[in-house]
Amino acid sequence: MDLKNHVRQIPDFPKPGINFFDISTLIGHPEAWRVTVERTTALLQEWKPDVLAAIDARGFLVAAPVAIPLNCSVIMIRKSGKLPGKVKSHKYGLEYGTDVIEMQDDAVKQGQRVVIVDDLLATGGTLMAAANLIRSSGGNIVGAVALIELSFLKGRAKLDMPFKALLEYDSE
Which sequence positions are flagged as catalytic? Answer: 58, 95
| Cis status of the peptide bond prior to 57, with omega within 30 of 0 | yes
- Cα–chain-centroid distance for residue 62? 8
Q: Judge contact between 159 and 124, C-beta under 8 A.
A: yes
Print burial letters for 48-78: b (CB count within 10 Å at least 16), e (below 16). Answer: ebbbbbbbbebbbbbbebbbeebebbbbbbb
The strand pairing partners of 101, in sequence order, are 79, 90
How far apart, in Å, are the Cα atoms of 140 and each of 42, 99, 105, 110, 154? 20, 24, 16, 8, 24
Cα–Cα dist 18/89, whole Å: 28
